[in-house]
Amino acid sequence: MIVYTHKFLNGKFLSALVLLLCLSLNVATAQSGKTLKKIVLDAGHGGKDPGAVGSFTNEKTITLGVVLKLGKLLKDSLPQLQVVYTRNTDVFIELKERGNIANRASGDLFVSVHVNSTAGRRERIQTGTRTVGKGKKKRKVPVYKTIHHRETATSGTETYVLGLTRTDEKEKAIGEFGENISDEPGLLDENDPTTAVLVAQYSQAFLSKSTTLAGRIQANFMNIGRNDLGVKQKSLQVLANSAMPGVLTEIGFINNPSEEQFLSTEQGQQQIAMSLFRAIQAYKTDIERGKSK
């Protein structure tokens, strides 16, 4: 039994400790679990947090539309599978609370839906000239303005599993889909020693199943003609906080005009939801037949 002094018992430490204990208790059950009984669906952002913003819509609206359609497909076609939402309305939910919702529900799978965006590019152009100086020193100098181009031609989907850095073991687990992690808001602090332990525990219990689902998702997106950007790793807090296999899937780029148009429509959202449904259905078959450990 370890006794901690008061100065270490801050909220951040206690949250990490509770999660580590939860992960430890779930390692054996995760390795032996052969059924998918409960799935937690997470619509990214919400409420005061719009997420990525397009020319006429935003991420929080698209993700909620897709998640609600996915939930309905699951309930209609797999009635034995219980569906839990981290949010089913336009409300703000903290990243940590999303994992807490999943853990309190004792979920078997966590699927977080997001919409991508690129940083854009800046262009400096000359708009004219102005006169400076007096007398013989009088001269004209160029005047510039900076234009921010938000639109991108980048398109496609990518799905993330939790990872700190890609070790040889993780590279083997991810296989042909593997790519290194990249930065984004909501990443774990890699300088925090708790992070490495948490990611290692999570990987031991859930990386294989998470990767199986991620591969299924990308394959089904490809089946409807979506550009495949692969399965990748990030030290995402929303995944680390959920003590179950899980993925975060980016379903398109909101600052790509054609993708924003597609993702904003009922038909586009239904196609994405159907792809996710088929991937989850295939994943369920995989684990029940013992193909994913």
Q: What is the pLDDT of residues 137-168, one digit of tens each?
A: 888 888 777 766 678 999 999 999 998 644 33
Give pairs for 5-13: CB < 8 Å, separation 24+: 13/194
- Is 90 contained in some domain? yes
Sorted by sequence, the CB contacts under 8 Å of residue 125 that are 6+ apart come out as: 144, 145, 147
Lowest mean pLDDT among 168-177, 265-274, 279-288: 168-177
Ramachandran assignment for 60, one of left (phi > 0), alpha (psi -120 to 50 degrees), beta (any other)? alpha
More confident residue, 20 or 247: 247
Q: Cα separations (Å) of 291 from 35, 209, 219? A: 12, 9, 17
Whether residues 129 and 267 share a domain: the answer is no
Which ranges in the chain belong to alpha helices (H)?
A: 11-32, 59-77, 95-104, 168-174, 193-223, 237-240, 257-264, 266-288
Three-state DSSP class for 165?
A: coil
Most confident residue range from 18-22, 176-180, 282-286 = 282-286
By residue range, what is the domain housing residue 134? 119-150
**Overall average pLDDT of the 15-36 stretch:** 55
More confident residue, 272 or 289: 272
Closest alpha carbon to 59 in 80, 38, 44: 44
Whether residues 104 and 170 share a domain: the answer is yes
Closest alpha carbon to 200 in 16, 22, 23: 23
pLDDT value at residue 260 = 98
- Is 33 contained in some domain? no
Any bridge partners for residue 147, and if so which?
A: 123
Lowest mean pLDDT among 111-120, 123-132, 178-187: 178-187
How many whole angstroms separate alpha carbon 6 and alpha carbon 14? 11
How many whole angstroms separate alpha carbon 293 and alpha carbon 31? 6
Mean pLDDT of the chain, nearest integer:
82
Q: Which of 150, 169, 201 is a domain's end point?
A: 150
Q: From edge to edge, which strands make up the β-sheet containing 109-116? A: 82-85, 38-43, 109-116, 246-253, 157-162, 228-234
pTM (whole model) above 0.85 = no
**Overall average pLDDT of the 113-138 stretch:** 83
- Domain count of the chain? 2
Q: For the domain that residue 238 is a member of, what is the CATH number?
A: 3.40.630.40
The 10 Å Cβ neighbour count of residue 129 is 11
Whether residues 142 and 188 share a domain: the answer is no
